[in-house]
Structure 1
Amino acid sequence: MCTEGKQDEVKNLIKDERLCICAVLETHLKAHNIDKACKYVFRRWHWRSNIRNSPNSCRIILGWNNDIIKVTPIHEDKQVMFCLFELRDKPVSWFGSCVYASNNGRGRRKLWRELEIQSNITKNRPWIIFGDFTVTRRLNEHTAGGSFLTDEMHEFNDCVNKIEVDDIGSSGFHYTWTRSLKNPNCGILKKLDRILINEEFLTQFPQAYGRFLLYVISDHSPAVLGITKSQDAQKKSFRFMNYIAYKDGFRELVNEEWSKNIHGYAMFRVVKKLENLKKGLKSLNWKNGNLHEKVEALKADLKEIQKKVDDDPYEGALRKKATEVLEEYENAKMDELRLLYQKAKIDWLIDGDKNTKYFHSILKSRKHKSRVESICDENGNRYFDEQVAEQCVRHFQQFLGVADNTRPVEELGKYIF
């Protein structure tokens, strides 16, 4: 942000993307130039920099629309600005850490320790970490990388796992940094910029998503965080729940439907029998109700009956009832575990691992990253929310065509030799 051209790019980005918060990294601004540059870029916005922690050159500047957002600084150093963000018109708040990591491993280790401290402050509160981490996490995030993770990559991943955050679902550029825009022979690209969120942030803002935009004149891709309104629930397609295969009546149901005589080609008969099975399988699934609620209810019943047994250990009927409830609880717990295995698509854990909190966090992350928040047409126009589905339909209508008037083959017989 040390030239007028780059300042104009930031100002246009704020306008085009209708931002309420904007963080600028690696500004190269000296202390005496910061005020002038920020007044030009942010106008009536409030802003804050970490120039006191980096006197040679300002590394981080954070600007925000004070009419919409209230920002309370908590901690800042050379590599991170940690703040509390609160909406003015709603009781909604979250923690945010704006990062510009050091270029060397020793410096980044200080950042990892600081983020671990911040994770203790943000416990059970929404938290987002965004910026330039100057190191990649995976092998496919470096065009000139090796065949194994470096020690610095392992340290970064260890920190991410320890503070329990993950990349937000995003679209746009995969590689967010290029070594040189002006050198056509330089093909080194890396993913250094990220938006990391914790589970609480995803719970409070389930429609949040990230976009990594064109470089334009910067060697980094601008990252934009968007939060859209919740969309109406769509009708879900049929999904076979694996745990049903272990329930009484499953084999009999399949045998009954499969023994029915259906006329047609072999593949048609198979498809038709599978379709006929849907109704019975759905009924078998609904018969078991909400598994998570069922497990909690049986657990409460088990505690109650075991307490009664402890008060009256000689009552045979109570002991028999406790045994029955325990068996029912263990069966429901196993059904729940099988369902979570299937939904989270995890098969490397041992059967005895019942860490359902971990399963739920995996499910949220997978569901979040699988959403399509925006789409571009062939002309470069971008569409969001419900317009995404409309554009998909329009694209395939143009690609595959629509129904047209046809003539029976018999009428064309005289033209066929």
Structure 2
Amino acid sequence: MNHPSKQSEIKRLISDKKLDLVSIIETKVFQANVVSIHRSLCPSWSLIHNYPYSPLGRIWVLWNPNQVNFKVIDTSRQAIHCSIFIIGQNITFFTSFIYAANMATERQLLWENIIHFAGLFSHSPWLIMGDFNIIPNTAETFGGSRRRCQAMDEFKDCLQQAELDDLKFSSILFSWSNKSQGAACISDRSPILVTMNFNIPHRSTAMFQVVQKLKMLKLVLRANYKKEFSEIDSKLHYVKLELDSCQLDLDKSPNDVLLREMERSLISEYLRLRKIQEDMLRQKSRMNWLKLGDCNSSFFHKSLSSRNNRKKIVSLTLDSGQIIDDMDSIKLEVVSHFQNLLGCSPPTIHHLSDLTPFFSKQVPHHLLTYLDDNPTPTEIRNYITSVSVLKSAIDHFCTMSGLAINLNKSSIFFSGTDQYTESCIISLLGIGVGTLPIRYLGVPLISTNLKTSHCSLLIEKITHRITHWTSRSLSYTGRLQLIKAILVSTQLYWSGIFILPKAVINKLNSIFSAFL
């Protein structure tokens, strides 16, 4: 800062970038020379510094009073905290200019100071910049020691507690060097230019911020589209002409290496443009179908007519090799083919006895009388014997595999048996008696028709999901998509197993409507 060339460089930067607020750190200017250097830089601008805390003025802040209202909040040896109001835009934000000390013990005071002001500035935007004399990770330096140190961890802890995020930048990463010979140590010390954009409100829902960012991304994508994909037909035509001309020249001079290389590159470029053109046309067709496919429009009817033409049977080739193209002959041939394949028309069934010819094996009549008889004691003993066989098979499986049945999670259910048979089977298996309904695969297992009381589990599950969703952060379309993708799928799972009562369906519809 003491040399006129550096002062000229700062003035040029302010003029070229049209800056209204500038901070200069590590000026190395004695306080006696502040006035003269200030007049040389920006005589009409205001100046604040921290000379009371540092004899060489570690931090300078200059601003244009016609564009910015500047208010100092706190000044120390390592930081200047201030409030900035942009005139004409009604925008206020906080800014902190930092030049940290070289010693880690002194920087610890700065970290505590930043965390303190983070709580005070939490209600407004806060920009903090400068030289922290420490890096959060080793990727921001080259040369020297690559090991992490305690000071780096303390700096990262400060950023996390203050909820500060490193801004993205577009420039070279390493711009400062210690000028040593051999393995030089370089870092990321360079001028910082920050452009403030207040188009997106800082206090808004997360979904609103996403929408605004997508709108800005749309502008970038549109500019990239115009640069890379605009006038693709004319580009393709131009490359095709160049390729034809090159191939004509190559035909006259087959041994020309440059022409062969040019032909190869032109073919590659031509194929690339053809692929882009094909993808664009395919995407446009999909967009047209999404926009007009479900509408009663000319596009829909043209698409339907085109599909019918593609699916239309124009001619048939018979087994004899004869080709028929008459529509009436085609219809008769198709009907005849499927009659021979599937048989004649099905017979009319008036009584169950009419189905007898279709079954080769039938139950004898003398056995049908036993189906309605009660089981005899001998048959009961046979039932118990079959249960004992099942128990021995399970025990053998447990012995061979090492997997045992959890009796606490197992239950047995009886139907149409007497108390003696039930007690014998329970003592034999050692499993407790269960009562219906029970929950199996997420649904109630019952022996009767589904009632409204049985569906309380479904209603509670859907209500529990909705209460844990933050609907304020979702648009109407987002909430509708959640209902279709998650809630309705749960209802369909139950509907695929049971016939839901009408009262349950009305209750679910009311829950969905309230969520929207």
Alignment TM-score, normalising by the size of structure 1: 0.51
1:38 shift after superposition: 1.2
1:322 shift after superposition: 6.2
Indicate the SS of the match to 2:218.
coil
The answer on whether the counterparts of 1:179 and 1:186 sit within 8 Å (CA) in structure 2 is no
1:177 shift after superposition: 2.8
Correspondence for 1:222: 191
Correspondence for 1:187: 184
1:118 shift after superposition: 0.8
| Alpha-carbon separation, structure 2, partners of 1:156 and 1:141 | 14
Q: Does 1:41 align with 2:41?
A: yes
| Alpha-carbon separation, structure 1, partners of 2:174 and 2:163 | 23
1:79 shift after superposition: 0.3
Inter-CA distance 318–123: structure 2 relative to 1 (3 Å threshold): farther
Q: Does 1:234 align with 2:371?
A: no
The answer on whether the counterparts of 2:45 and 2:65 sit within 8 Å (CA) in structure 1 is yes
- 1:15-414 → structure 2 map (5 Å cutoff): 15-54=15-54, 56-180=55-179, 185=182, 187-191=184-188, 220-227=189-196, 234=218, 323=460, 325-329=462-466
| Alpha-carbon separation, structure 2, partners of 1:132 and 1:150 | 18
Equivalent residue letter for 1:158: D
| Alpha-carbon separation, structure 2, partners of 1:90 and 1:62 | 21
The answer on whether the counterparts of 1:95 and 1:127 sit within 8 Å (CA) in structure 2 is yes
**Which of the pair has more CA radius of gyration?**
2
Q: State the identity as a percent.
A: 21
1:308-330 Cα distance to aligned partner (Å, 9 max, x none): xxxxxxx9899789626514516
| Alpha-carbon separation, structure 2, partners of 1:48 and 1:71 | 10
Tell me which of the two structures has the higher relative contact order, counting C-alpha pairs closer than 8 angstroms and 6 or more residues apart: 1
| Alpha-carbon separation, structure 2, partners of 1:82 and 1:161 | 19
| Alpha-carbon separation, structure 1, partners of 2:34 and 2:46 | 13
1:141-172 Cα distance to aligned partner (Å, 9 max, x none): 11014443211111111101110111111111
| Alpha-carbon separation, structure 1, partners of 2:110 and 2:178 | 23
The answer on whether the counterparts of 2:144 and 2:185 sit within 8 Å (CA) in structure 1 is no
The answer on whether the counterparts of 1:73 and 1:82 sit within 8 Å (CA) in structure 2 is yes
| Alpha-carbon separation, structure 1, partners of 2:219 and 2:89 | 31
Inter-CA distance 333–128: structure 2 relative to 1 (3 Å threshold): closer
Inter-CA distance 176–136: structure 2 relative to 1 (3 Å threshold): farther
1:178 shift after superposition: 2.0
1:186 shift after superposition: 6.2
The answer on whether the counterparts of 1:21 and 1:63 sit within 8 Å (CA) in structure 2 is yes
Alignment TM-score, normalising by the size of structure 2: 0.42
Equivalent residue letter for 2:187: K
The answer on whether the counterparts of 1:47 and 1:64 sit within 8 Å (CA) in structure 2 is yes
Correspondence for 1:7: 7
The answer on whether the counterparts of 1:136 and 1:190 sit within 8 Å (CA) in structure 2 is no
Q: CA RMSD in A?
A: 4.0
| Alpha-carbon separation, structure 2, partners of 1:18 and 1:34 | 23
Equivalent residue letter for 2:50: N
Compare the two structures and name the one with the higher strand fraction.
Answer: 1
Equivalent residue letter for 1:36: S
Equivalent residue letter for 2:13: L
The answer on whether the counterparts of 1:82 and 1:98 sit within 8 Å (CA) in structure 2 is yes
Correspondence for 2:251: none
The answer on whether the counterparts of 1:173 and 1:221 sit within 8 Å (CA) in structure 2 is no
The answer on whether the counterparts of 1:139 and 1:145 sit within 8 Å (CA) in structure 2 is no
1:331 shift after superposition: 8.5
Indicate the SS of the match to 2:170.
strand
How many residue pairs match? The answer is: 243
Indicate the SS of the match to 2:195.
strand
| Alpha-carbon separation, structure 2, partners of 1:236 and 1:50 | 42
The answer on whether the counterparts of 1:81 and 1:98 sit within 8 Å (CA) in structure 2 is yes
1:25 shift after superposition: 0.6
Equivalent residue letter for 2:121: T
Equivalent residue letter for 1:73: V
Correspondence for 1:198: none
Inter-CA distance 166–277: structure 2 relative to 1 (3 Å threshold): farther
| Alpha-carbon separation, structure 2, partners of 1:92 and 1:317 | 59
| Alpha-carbon separation, structure 2, partners of 1:81 and 1:333 | 40
Runs of 5+ unmatched residues, structure 1: 192-219, 238-270, 284-314, 338-417
Inter-CA distance 135–45: structure 2 relative to 1 (3 Å threshold): same
Correspondence for 1:262: none
The answer on whether the counterparts of 2:79 and 2:98 sit within 8 Å (CA) in structure 1 is yes
1:75-134 Cα distance to aligned partner (Å, 9 max, x none): 010000000010111210110000000011011101100001110110121001101111
Runs of 5+ unmatched residues, structure 2: 200-214, 222-278, 292-451, 475-516
